[in-house]
Chain A
Amino acid sequence: MLTEIVGKPVPRKEGRSKVTGAARYVDDLRMPGMLYGATVRSPVARGRIRSVTFGEGVPWDEFVVVTAKDIPGENAVALILLDQPYLASEFVNHAEEPILLLAHADKQLLERARRAVHVDIEPLPAVFTLADSLARTQTIWGEDNIFKSYLVDKGNVDEVWAQADLVVEGEYSTGAQEQLYIETNGVIAVANAEEGVTVWGSMQCPYYVHKALLKLFALPPERVRVVQCETGGGFGGKEEYPSMIGGHAALLSWKAGGRPVKIIYDRAEDMVATTKRHPSLTRHRTAVSRDGRLLGMEIEFVVDGGAYATLSAVVLSRGTIHAAGPYNCPNVRIRSRAVATNVPPHGAFRGFGAPQSIFALERQMDKVAAAVGLSPAEFRRRNFIRQGETTATGQVIREPVDMAGLLDRAFELTDYQAKRERFARENAAVGAGGVKRGIGFASFMHGAGFTGSGEDYLKSIVGAEADASGRVRILAASTEIGQGTNTIFAQIASDALGLNYDLVEMAQPDTGNVPDSGPTVASRTCMIVGRLVESAALGLRQTLQGAGLLADEYTEGDWREACRQYVERYGALKSFSQYKPPPGVRWDDEKYEGDAYGAFAWAVYVAEVSVDTLTYETRVDDFVAVQEVGKVVHPILAAGQIEGGVAQAIGFTLYENVVWQDGRMVNNGMTNYVMPTSVDLPPIRVHFEEQPYEYGPAGGAKGIGELPMDGGAPAILNAIEQATGVSFTHVPLMPEALMRGLSETT
C-alpha cells in the first residue's frame, strides 16, 4: 500500500494542458461546415411583440432563421418550473430576452444581420425593483409576483419582545453581482432528426442541459447527448444558462439539417443577458437580554429573482436557512420571498443566497453588540452555537463545533484586539481628509450539499471502471471548472484503492458515457460525490477480490494483473455507487424544519481596511480566513478555493456595481464593471482547522466552494464602521455612497 495521497499537494490533473495552452475550451473547437449562431434580443423590458422585420442589404436567403414556431418540443427551459421560454413569441418580460436566432458561416455578416432585424414591441409597464414588486405596482408574474416563499419558525418569537431588555432593528441590502468567469458562455451543437441532439459546451451541469433538451426537442434520453468541454470558470453562472444557449445552438443546427452551430457570447452579451447574483433586502428585529443573550430573531429576507422563476426558489432556500447563522437562539422566525421583476433572471452565484442573508446578519450582530454594550466578539461568544444545540431549522448540531476556537485563532493571526484598540486611538487623531483604519470580522457557517431532502431526490450515481492495464477511470457528471474536481476525485479513488495517483483519471463528463452524479453546485462535489467516488472505487476492489483475483494485501503489480485477468475473463470491470443519506437525517419540507444539510463548514473571517476620507477610496489591507471544513483533501487547491472566493467577496463589497437603467445592465463591459486586479487585493491568508466529518470521503471532507463568498462583505463593512464610525448597510459600497454616508454624519 502506498502512503496517503489525500492531504498532499499533488499536481492538478489538467495542469500541464492548462499552462501550455493545449487545453481545449469550446471556442477552440471547430467542425467541418460549422455555422455561427447569434441571438436577436428584446430591446425593451416588458411588452407585446407586434412584428419582426428583416432589414435591407442582408442576403437573408443565406441565413438559418429560427423563431418560437420552429421549436419541435416545448418552448420552455426545463429547470424547476416551465415558465421561461427559449424564444419569446408574444410577450417579452425582460430586456435582452431572446426572440429569434440566426446562423451563418460568416461571423461579420452574421453580426450585420443581427443588427438588421427589427423587433417592434408595444411596451407594457414594467417593475424594476424589489420594492415595487412587493408593492405590486404591476402584477408581472402569477397572481402576486411571488416565485416562492418560506417560513422557518422555531420556538415562539411573538412572546419574546415583551421579556427582552432590548430590541434592535436593522435593514440591509445587497446589489446584483456578475459572475465574470473569464470564458464567456459558449456551445457547439449538432442536431437533426436522424442523429438526435448533441451539445458540447462550457458548463457546470451536463445533466441539467440534457433534461432541458429532452423537453425542447421532445426526444427520449438516449437521443440527446451533452458533453462538457474544458470550462473557463462558472461560479454558478454556468449552472442554468447553458441549457438556454445549448438549446439555441441545437435549434439552429436542427433547422440547418444538422450542420454544426457554434454560439459564443461576446463579453457584452454575456454580461447584459445572462444571470447574476440576486439582489436582496433583509430586515432584522433582534431581542436580547441585558447580559447579551439572544432571545429572539425575526428576519424578513427578500430576493429579486428577475423575470422568470429559474433557480430562485432554491437560492431563496439557502439564503433563508443561513439567515440566522451559527448562533444558538431559542426563538427564530424567518419569512422569505423571491419576487419577480422585469430584469433578466438572476441565478446561481457562489454562495447561492447565503452571502446576502449572512451579510445582513453579521452587520446586525455588530449593531446588537453595540446596543448591549459588548464588543462584537464578546457578544458573539455568548451566543455561538455548540455541539448538541439547534440551528434555526431545529437541526441538532451533532458534530463537534468550536466557533469560539476559530475566533481565537483568527484574532491571534491578525492581532485583532491590539489593532482594534490602536485604530480607535489613532483614528481619533486623524483630521479631516485623512486616512482612517478599521478591523472587523464575521462569523458564519455554510451547509454542504443540496438542502433538506434535495440529495435524496437527486439520487446521484458515480461509476468507476478499470481496464486490462489496471488504469482506473471515474465516471461522473461532476465537472472540473477550475475548482479541482479531476484532482480530488483521483486522490480519493487512489487512496481508496492504495494505487498511484497517476493510475486514476476522470472520464470527460459526457451524458452518453457517465452516470448522473448530480449538478456541480452547492459545495457538494467533494463531500457528496467524493464519497460516491470512494465507494465506486472500492467496488472495483471488491469485485476483484470476490472473483478470487486479488488478495487483501496487494501491490500495484498485483492490481494490474488482477485487472488483466478479470477483463480477459469477464469483459469490462465496472462498479457503481448511489447516494444514500447518512443515518438519522430528518427533514420536513412543509414546515421547513429539520436537518437542512448533512454538514456545515464553520468560519471566522477578519478584514482590515483603510478608508481615505479625501478620495473616499477604501482598501482592504489584510484579510484572514479561518475555517473548519473537515478533512482537507488538497491543501493548495483548498486554499486556492478560499482565496478566489474571498477575492470575489471583496469585489462584491467594494468594486462590482451593476448599473441598471430600465431593467438593463448598462455597464456591461470589463472597462466599466470593475473586478479586483492583482494590485487591488490584500494578502489573503488562509488557515484550516480540520475536524473530520464522519460521513465525508477521504477521512472526513466537507464542502468548501461557496463558504469563502459569505464572510467578506460583512467583515469589511464592520471594519469600515470602526474606521469611520458610520454603519453602512448596503453592498457594494461605492465611493459615492461612502462620501454621502460620511458627509451626513459630519
Chain B
Amino acid sequence: MTDSGLKVDVACTVNGARQTLRVHPLARLLDVLREDLGLTGTKEGCGEGECGACSVLVDGELVNSCLVPVLQVEGAEIKTIEGVSARGAELHAVQQAFIECGGAQCGICTPGMVLAAVSLLANIPQPTDADIRNGLAGNLCRCTGYMKIFDAVVRACERAGVKA
C-alpha cells in the first residue's frame, strides 16, 4: 500500500487467530485491519485520535487504531468488532442491548462504541452513571446524543455473563 515497498513481518493474534502480517512498519493498525485483513467493521472517523470510531482492544486495552503503528502490536492480542461475538453465535450482551435500547442509529460509531462499552464493563462490572459517561468519553456519536447508548450499557450490565 505504500510506494516505498519496504515491508516487515508482524506476528499477532487477531480475534483469536494467529496472523503474520507482511506490512509497512509505519502502516496504521486501522489500515492493516481494514485493508489487509478485510476487517472493515473498524471505522475511520477522524484519523487523529478524537472520535473513537476506530477503537479496538489491544491486549484488553481500548485503543484508537488510527494512532497505532502496526509494529507496536507485535505479539499482541487484538480484538475487533468482528471478534466480539463469534461468527454465527449469539450476540454479546452489549450488542444485544444496543439493538434493544436504540444505541445504534447510523451505526458508524457503533463498532467503536460497543468495544468501548465492552472494555468499560470488563474494568467496572457495575458502573455508575459517571463511570459510563467517562468510559465512553473517547467515542463520539453524532446521532444519538448518547442517551440510548447509556441505556444500552445499563441494560447489558443488568444481564449476567458480561465479559470482554
Contact = CB atoms under 8 A, between A and B. Distances in A.
A181 B149 CA distance: 17
Contacts of A640: 102, 105, 143-145, 147-148
B32 interface: no
Contacts of A11: 99-100
B84 interface: yes
B48 A21 contact: no
Given A15-B99, A482-B107, A678-B139, A21 B133 contact: no
A233 B104 CA distance: 11
Interface in B41-94: 41-48, 50-51, 53, 80-82, 84-85, 91
A183 interface: yes
B107 A670 contact: no
A266 B47 contact: yes
A670 B133 CA distance: 19
Given A644-B142, A678-B136, A637 B102 contact: yes
A678 B44 contact: no
Contacts of B149: 678
Contacts of B21: none
A610 interface: no
B107 A23 contact: yes
Contacts of B144: 640, 643-644, 647
A692 B150 CA distance: 31
Contact of B137 (A20, A645, A678): A678
Given A232-B107, A670-B51, A183 B145 contact: no
A639 B99 CA distance: 15
A182 B142 contact: yes
Given A11-B99, A24-B40, A681-B145, A481 B106 contact: yes
A234 B106 CA distance: 9
Given A15-B99, A640-B102, A233 B108 contact: yes
A251 B105 CA distance: 33
Nearest to A638: B102
B43 A18 contact: no
Contacts of A678: 132-134, 136-137, 139, 141, 146, 149-150
A9 to B, nearest CB: 8
Contacts of B53: 182
A424 interface: no
Contacts of A646: 145
Contact of B133 (A112, A484, A648, A679): A679
B37 interface: no
B115 to A, nearest CB: 10
B52 to A, nearest CB: 9
A614 interface: no
A746 interface: no
A669 B51 CA distance: 11
Given A21-B111, A109-B3, A12 B142 contact: no
B42 A21 contact: yes
A230 interface: yes
For B104, B137, B144, B145, the residue with the greatest tally of chain A CB atoms inside 10 Å of its CB is B145
B109 interface: yes
Given A20-B84, A482-B106, A108 B114 contact: no
B145 A482 contact: no
Contact of A183 (B43, B84, B100, B101): B43
Contact of B101 (A234, A636, A648): A636
Given A108-B2, A644-B145, A678-B149, A16 B110 contact: no
Contacts of A106: 1-3
Interface string A209-233: 0000000000000000000001111
Contact of B44 (A27, A109, A644, A684): A27
Given A643-B145, A670-B48, A681-B146, A231 B82 contact: no
A235 interface: yes
Given A482-B106, A636-B102, A670-B48, A20 B142 contact: no
Contact of B147 (A181, A231, A671, A683): A683
Nearest to A686: B147
Interface string A659-696: 00000000001110001011101011000000000000
Given A27-B44, A107-B1, A182-B51, A18 B104 contact: yes
B48 A671 contact: yes
A74 to B, nearest CB: 33
A648 B142 contact: yes
A364 interface: no
Chain A contact surface mostly: loop
Given A25-B108, A182-B106, A233 B142 contact: yes
Contacts of B85: 20
For A18, A23, A639, the residue with the greatest tally of chain B CB atoms inside 10 Å of its CB is A18
A275 to B, nearest CB: 15
Nearest to A18: B107
B24 to A, nearest CB: 9
A14 interface: yes
A437 B134 CA distance: 24
A693 to B, nearest CB: 24
A429 interface: no
A181 B142 contact: yes
B147 A182 contact: no
A653 B48 CA distance: 25
A667 to B, nearest CB: 12
Interface in B123-164: 132-134, 136-137, 139-150
A484 B41 CA distance: 20
A106 B53 CA distance: 24
B32 to A, nearest CB: 14
B143 A20 contact: no
For B46, B105, B134, B141, the residue with the greatest tally of chain A CB atoms inside 10 Å of its CB is B105
A197 B129 CA distance: 51
A126 interface: no
A482 B41 CA distance: 17
A669 B106 contact: no
B145 A20 contact: no
A260 B45 CA distance: 23
Given A182-B53, A678-B133, A19 B98 contact: yes
B48 A267 contact: yes
A194 interface: no
A18 B112 CA distance: 11
A679 B139 CA distance: 11
B145 A12 contact: no
- The 8 A-B residue pairs with the shortest CB-CB distance in the complex, in nearest-first order: A21-B41, A482-B106, A232-B108, A647-B145, A18-B107, A21-B81, A482-B105, A28-B40
Given A21-B80, A233-B143, A678-B132, 10 more contacts: A19-B114, A20-B85, A108-B2, A179-B142, A182-B43, A267-B46, A481-B106, A482-B105, A644-B145, A670-B46
8 contacts: A18-B104, A20-B41, A20-B84, A181-B142, A644-B142, A646-B145, A678-B136, A684-B145
Interface of B: 1-3, 34, 39-48, 50-51, 53, 80-82, 84-85, 91, 95-96, 98-111, 114, 132-134, 136-137, 139-150
